[in-house]
Amino acid sequence: MGSDNVPTWFWWLWFAAAIVGHFGLYLSIYNRLNAFGFPRRRIKQTEWVLLITCLLTPLGLAWRYGDFLNAVVWGRPHWSDFPSGLYAYTLVCLATWIYPGIGWLWTRPIFGFQRLPVAKRVQHVDVQQAVAVPLALSAKCRFQSRWPMNQIFQLSIEEKQLPVRGLPAELDGLKIAHLSDIHLTGHIASDFFQYAVERANEWQPDMMMLTGDIVDYDRCIDWLEPCFGHARAPHGRFFVLGNHDTRVCNPADVRAEMTRIGWQDVGSRVLDHSIGKTAIRLLGNEAPWFPAPPASASPSTPPTSDFRIAVCHSPDRIGWARRQGVALMLAGHTHGGQGRLPLAGPLLSPSFHGSRFASGEFYLAPTTMHVSRGLSGVHLLRLRCPPELALLVLRCVPS
C-alpha cells in the first residue's frame, strides 16, 4: 500500500493511539505488580525498572527509527517502509485498547458494572478546622497539604443503606462502622484518626471493622491506644492487618496492642459470633501478605444457617469470599486510587483487577462487597478522592 492511499492523519492517529496504549500497558502492569505479596524492596526495585523502561522505550524507538518518523512528520512514507520492529511494538500497544482496554472502559463507575445502587448521606468535614492542633507533623506533609485540591484532611463521612442478599431479617438495620488504611506513619497527627473514631462512636454502631494497613512504623505502635482505644461497639470491634503492617519489625506487636485495647483479631481466622439468636461467622483474610484462613475452617460448601462476613484487606479476595458463601465482604487497600478523573474515575489501584474495585459498593453473587477509600496513606495526596469513614446500615433485599 503506498502513501497515496494512507492519509497523513492516519499516521498521526496510529502513533497517538500507540503511545496511549504504551502507557496503558505499563499502568496495567504496575497495578497488578502491587497486588502480589512480594517483599517491599523487590516491588520498589521492579517499579523503578518499569518506570525507566516505560519512559525510555519511546525514546529508544524514536532514536532507532528516526528516519522513518521524520518521514511521517515531514514527508509521505510508503506503508511498505514501516520498519518491522516499530510496527510490531505499536501493534502490541494498540492491542491494549482491546485487552485490557475494553474491560477497563466497561468497569468505569459511570457504567455501574457490578456496582450496587446505594442510598447514602454524605458529610464532608475539614478535620483541620475541627481539631485544635496542627494535623501535618512533618515538613513533607505540611508542604503537600497546601497543594491545590489536595483532600487529605477532608474527611467524607458516608452513611450508606447497604442492601445485602442473605441478610437474616433479625439483622436488618445492623450498623457497621468500616474503617480502613489508617497508615500511622508520623506524618499526620493522631488527632485526625481520633476524630474519625469519635464520629463513628457518635453514630453508635453495633460493630466496627478495620480492614488493615494500620501501622507503617514501629514508633507509631504506641499511637494505637489513643487512636482506637476509645472505639465503642456493643457487638465487637474486629480487625485484620494489611501489606503495610509488614513494614514493622514484628507485625505480631500490632496484633498484640490492638488486642490489648479491646479489638478482636480475625486475621487468617474464622470466628463464630452471635447477635441475639442470630449466628454470624467472621472470616478474616489478609492474603497474600499473611496466610489465608485454613481450608478446614472455610469449607467450599458452607452451611446455610449462618450469616457470613469476610473481613479482608484487599478486594482481590472477592473470588475467595464468593466460594465461601460470604454474604458481606469488607475491604480497603486501594485508597480509591488516590485520585479520580472526571468520568474515567481512578487509574491507579494495587489490584489484580486494576481499578475495577478501587472503591465503592459491588455485588457479585452471592457477595455484597464494600471497598473503603481508607482514612490515610503514605502518599499524602488525594484528588477528588477524600478519605472515608463508612457507616453501613445493612438492609435485607426483598425476595
The number of helices, as runs of H, and strands, as runs of E, in the chain is: 11, 15
CB 141 within 8 A of CB 380: yes
Say if residue 2's pLDDT is above 90.
no
Cell of 183: 497508615
Residue of 180, 160, 288 whose CA lies nearest to 238: 180
Residue 398's pLDDT band (boundaries 50, 70, 90)?
confident
pLDDT tens per residue across span 230-240: 999 999 999 99
pLDDT tens per residue across span 19-33: 999 999 999 999 999
Say if residue 383's pLDDT is above 50.
yes
Q: List phi, psi (to 5°) of 261.
A: -90, 10
Torsion of CA 395, 397, 398, 399, to 10 degrees: -150
Say if residue 244's pLDDT is above 60.
yes
Neighbours of 150 (CB within 10 A): 15
CB 207 within 8 A of CB 174: yes
pLDDT tens per residue across span 339-354: 999 999 999 999 999 9
One-letter amino acid at 75 equals G
Residue 114's pLDDT band (boundaries 50, 70, 90)?
very high
Helix (H, G, I), strand (E, B) or coil at 68: helix
Q: What is the CA radius of gyration of the chain?
A: 24
Q: List phi, psi (to 5°) of 132.
A: -95, -5
Q: Lowest-confidence range among 50-59, 160-169, 295-304, 365-374? A: 295-304
Torsion of CA 188, 251, 266, 360, to 10 degrees: 40
What is the 3-state secondary structure of 208-226?
EEEECCCECCHHHHHHHHH
How much is the average pLDDT of 46-73? Answer: 93
pLDDT tens per residue across span 162-206: 999 999 999 999 999 999 999 999 999 999 999 999 999 999 999
Average pLDDT, the chain: 93
What is the β-pairing status of strands 307-312 and 278-285?
parallel
pLDDT tens per residue across span 247-287: 999 999 999 999 999 999 999 999 999 999 999 999 999 99
Helix (H, G, I), strand (E, B) or coil at 27: helix
Distance CA 52, CA 50 (A): 6
What is the 8-class DSSP label of residue 95?
Answer: H
How much is the average pLDDT of 314-326? Answer: 96
CB 31 within 8 A of CB 337: no
Q: Measured between alpha carbons, how far is residue 156 from residues 178, 208, 255, 376 in Å?
A: 13, 17, 27, 12
Query: With pLDDT > 90 as the criterion, what percentage of the chain qualifies?
Result: 87
CB 89 within 8 A of CB 335: no
CB 201 within 8 A of CB 234: no
Torsion of CA 16, 18, 23, 27, to 10 degrees: 130
How much is the average pLDDT of 95-116? Answer: 95
How much is the average pLDDT of 141-150? Answer: 96
What is the 8-class DSSP label of residue 206?
Answer: S
Contacting residues for 395 by C-beta, under 8 A, at least 6 apart: 161, 162, 163, 164, 167, 172, 173
All structural domains of the chain, each given as residue ranges with its CATH number in brackets, are 3-106 (no CATH), 115-396 (3.60.21.10)
Distance CA 381, CA 399 (A): 43
How much is the average pLDDT of 137-147? Answer: 96
Say if residue 304's pLDDT is above 50.
no
Q: What do you get for the CA distance between the two ends of the chain, in Å?
A: 61
Query: With pLDDT > 70 as the criterion, what percentage of the chain qualifies?
Result: 96
Say if residue 3's pLDDT is above 50.
no
CA angle (41 as vertex; 37, 44 as ends), nearest 5: 90
